Chain A
Amino acid sequence: LAKTTQPISMDSYEGQEVNITCSHNNIATNDYITWYQQFPSQGPRFIIQGYKTKVTNEVASLFIPADRKSSTLSLPRVSLSDTAVYYCLVGDIQKAGGYNKLIFGAGTRLAVHP
């Protein structure tokens, strides 16, 4: 199973762009990269998912280099409400039961300051 490594914590200020990088050196060919966000006292919430290159949605962008050994979650112009823990996961979700292999690491605790 692919293991992920992320910074334990990051600090930013309102209006800045935040980039959180995740390392997954032993990612498998069929693995996708998924990011979740967790606010205090809530369950994790899906943010974005990708396989290669760049993916963008209304919340974030995900940059994945050609070797796929890392990925970067980019949050544009963060606000105080983006203060949360962000988890990077890798796993093969393109087959039945693949979700069962998704493993959450320690995550990155992002603190956004005024």
Chain B
Amino acid sequence: DTAVSQTPKYLVTQMGNDKSIKCEQNLGHDTMYWYKQDSKKFLKIMFSYNNKELIINETVPNRFSPKSPDKAHLNLHINSLELGDSAVYFCASSRDRVGTGELFFGEGSRLTVL
């Protein structure tokens, strides 16, 4: 079983459309994240949720809306897509307790906005 799974893996859409990316983790972790990796390979944190509560929002446009129905799921909805939203979006999870600093990443969802 994949520990952190994201769907879809590839997404091609037109500017102005609304799209969602789903993420699920079966590790029993308390915290989940969305990262964005641009064409230059910089990985930037976008959001972090702990037990369904938003704890980090890194100045992401409000067109991006994360939703966590339970602590095993963190979905990302993007409204009015723009060309600059093209990137690979990674979901990740971690134990939110004292312990090893290991983030578990999904395989990424490549979003292309035309």
Chain A interface residues (CB < 8 Å from chain B): 32, 34, 36, 41-46, 49, 85, 87, 89, 91, 93-100, 102-107, 109
Contact = CB atoms under 8 A, between A and B. Distances in A.
B100 A100 contact: no
A34 B4 contact: no
A100 B98 contact: no
Contacts, number: 70
Interface in B30-68: 31, 33, 35, 40-45, 48, 50, 55-56
A99 B108 contact: no
Interface size class of B (residues with CB under 8 A): 20 to 34
A91 to B, nearest CB: 7
B18 interface: no
A34 to B, nearest CB: 5
**Closest 5 A/B residue pairs (Cβ):** A43-B105, A93-B101, A104-B43, A46-B102, A99-B94
